[in-house]
Amino acid sequence: MVAEPGGPEDQKPQSDEARSAFVPPAGVGRPTSASDDDHPTSEFAIPTGLTTEPQGSGTGSASGPGSGSGQASGPDTIGSAFAPPRTYSAQHPPPAFTPAHGSPMIRLTKEAPWQDRMRTMLRMPVAERPAPEPVQKSDEAGPAVPRVLDLTLRIGELLLAGGEGAEDVEAAMFAVTRSYGLDRCEPTVTFTLLSISHQPSLIDDPVTASRTVRRRGTDYTRLAAVFRLIDDITTEDVEVSLEEAYRRLAEIRRNRHPYSGWVLTLAAGGLAGAASVLVGGGPLVFLVAAIGAMLGDRLAWLFAGRGLPEFYQFVVAAMPPAAMGVALTLTHWSDVRPSAVITGGLFALLPGRALVAGVQDGLTGYYITAAARLLEVMYLFIGIVVGVLLVLYLGLQLGAQLNPEARFTAPDRPVVQILASMALCFAFAILLQQDRSTVLAVTLNGAVAWVIYGAMARTGGISPVVATATAAGLVGLFGQLLSRYRYTSSLPFITAAIGPLLPGSATYFGLLGMAQGNVNTGLASLSTAVATALAIAIGVNLGSEISRLFMRVPGAVGGANRRAAKRTRGF
């Protein structure tokens, strides 16, 4: 079609600069519209032919396809991009932000124990942790944040005071907060301080609470009760309100120890006597070592009642067994080995529990807590050294013939030694205030450890340090499996079982060499004792980690189950 001369087309300039970019070129029809004001110019406008999803009452419906505008006609249509969607719930809010690489696909298996589930999330970055799934009911206004944090700190205090590792304490605290609906919580555990921080959102101020652990005690029955409480809190089938959790926690703290003080004293004597038989003693050695250990235990109780530090308690507890051995030497009893008596007394004092916990914290990355625990072990060990050295030096001044070169070799009595190792583990379990249902299991675990050690070190001729590490690894493996089967802590199944492996004889001969002025010989023997103790601790931790490799542990689909720190290659 050609426009006529003088028509409206001749009135427009023909230059491209004067032509509007929005004017359709010649030959293209202009789209029909009611008016230019109705034409949408926003990129967020709904295209023609599409309708919005009805939002229920109070929202408008989109216009039909024939309207041409594609905009909603109702007056109450939500037009803000910041308005919450209709699926939003204030009680169960979504995560505060989404990572740049998207939300991770993480599935937490409910069959796995809460320890493994919480360990998995603790080793994840904060941005990759899944949203919490509260298993305990809370009010519409949300959980009481200060009370949940206080309950979490009190539970963590009991666990840390009972000897649990720092990672297990953090996992327990993390489990409690997530069960009551608190997301973005960060627990922090050191040797004497517990703290936890909760940030409601990215714009709200964080809430932080802390608690100091001032007293420590060994009561594995109380520890097991705390684990049962945490297991009930993290279970969907059991409803535990905050008030109920506080009530149960108060009952746990008020409960008496399952064994009285005199029973613990008898257990200390039985432990020392069994250890003396384990290293070659007879019935008379058993009796003398038991009497020395019981005297030392009562002296330690006396000093503890007077408020003296634990260092001096170990000093006085180490003196009676050493004095009994020196007295036997001075009276020239040929049927009694003084070295076996003193060694049996040392078995009841060596801080194996604190050593295992310290090395475990170091291997899992909690270096501050590990350094503090190992420093505590060093002080306790120095207390034992001071007590024994004082008595040995006094005995040498009185003319006691103590020969460090006459190292005893235990006779080949496998049945007697296995029974002695079981008696040692049984007495050790009583000293740790274990629940009666776990005593038999830990006794059998200790017997298996001694059988493995004897088969490797004495029958196979393998290095005692390597044999000790292997036996300790089996103790950690079986203890971890038993704890997961019982849904409780692994300490009651591990700590007493490592009793027969403790380096009592190497410690004694090292102290005797130093008392006689043979510093090189004494330091060499003490180095063997330290190497054996580290082998026990590393073996227990390695056995526990190996057991987790075969468990169904939650984690990222197609990735590693439990992330660990990458090696730094020295820089």
Task: Express each pLDDT in 162-194 by its tens digit.
Answer: 888 888 899 899 889 988 888 788 899 988 899
What token pair was written down for 389?
């050295």
Question: What's the rounded Cα separation, in Å, for the pair 422 and 400?
Answer: 33
Starting from the edge strand earliest in sequence, which strands make up the sheet with 193-198, in order? Answer: 185-189, 193-198, 207-212
Model pLDDT, residue 73: 44
- CA nearest neighbour of 245 among 127, 136, 120, 106: 136
Mean pLDDT of 33-49: 54
The residue with greater pLDDT, 10 or 525, is 525
Model pLDDT, residue 150: 92
Span of 101-115, 183-197, 243-257, 437-451 with lowest mean pLDDT: 101-115
Question: What's the rounded Cα separation, in Å, for the pair 335 and 338?
Answer: 10
Question: What's the rounded Cα separation, in Å, for the pair 226 and 252?
Answer: 7
When pLDDT is cut at 50, 70 and 90, the band that residue 22 belongs to is low
Rg (CA), the chain: 36
Contact call for residues 377 and 314 (beta carbons, < 8 A): no
What token pair was written down for 518?
């043979």
Question: What's the rounded Cα separation, in Å, for the pair 321 and 394?
Answer: 14
The residue with greater pLDDT, 400 or 6, is 400
Please list the alpha-helical segments (H only) found in 398-554: 414-431, 436-454, 464-486, 491-494, 504-515, 519-549
Mean pLDDT of 543-562: 56
Model pLDDT, residue 194: 93
Span of 445-454, 535-544, 548-557 with lowest mean pLDDT: 548-557
Task: Express each pLDDT in 49-86 by its tens digit.
Answer: 655 555 444 444 444 444 444 444 444 444 454 555 56
Please list the alpha-helical segments (H only) found in 193-255: 220-233, 242-254
- C-alpha distances in angstroms, 130 versus 115, 199, 254, 553? 16, 16, 37, 15
Task: Express each pLDDT in 196-224 by its tens digit.
Answer: 998 877 777 888 999 988 888 788 889 88
The residue with greater pLDDT, 545 or 472, is 472
Model pLDDT, residue 64: 43
- CA nearest neighbour of 292 among 350, 333, 352, 341: 341
Task: Match 């170091």 to its residue by tokens.
Answer: 362
Task: Express each pLDDT in 260-273 by its tens digit.
Answer: 888 999 999 999 99
Task: Express each pLDDT in 97-117 by its tens digit.
Answer: 444 444 444 444 455 666 667
Model pLDDT, residue 128: 62
Model pLDDT, residue 340: 82
When pLDDT is cut at 50, 70 and 90, the band that residue 554 belongs to is very low
Residue 551 DSSP label: S
Q: Are strands 555-556 and 193-198 parallel, antiparallel or unpaired?
A: unpaired
DSSP lists the bridge partners of residue 556 as 106
Model pLDDT, residue 60: 41
Model pLDDT, residue 294: 92
468 phi and psi angles, rounded to 5 deg: -65, -45
Task: Express each pLDDT in 319-341 by its tens digit.
Answer: 998 888 888 888 776 566 777 88
SS3 content of the chain, % helix, strand, coil (to 5): 55, 5, 40
Give the mean pLDDT of the chain: 76
Model pLDDT, residue 58: 42
What token pair was written down for 483?
């704890």
Residue 384 pLDDT greater than 80, yes or no: yes
Model pLDDT, residue 55: 47
Model pLDDT, residue 111: 55
Task: Express each pLDDT in 114-162 by its tens digit.
Answer: 666 776 666 666 656 666 666 665 555 556 888 999 999 999 999 998 8
Please list the alpha-helical segments (H only) found in 15-165: 114-122, 145-161
Model pLDDT, residue 132: 64
- CA nearest neighbour of 532 among 451, 479, 467, 449: 467
Q: Does the reported pTM lie above 0.85?
A: no
Model pLDDT, residue 87: 57
Question: What's the rounded Cα separation, in Å, for the pair 449 and 433?
Answer: 21
Contacts 24+ apart (CB under 8 A), 511-520: 511/385, 511/388, 511/389, 511/392, 512/392, 512/402, 512/404, 513/404, 514/389, 515/389, 515/392, 515/393, 515/396, 515/402, 516/396, 516/402, 516/404, 518/404
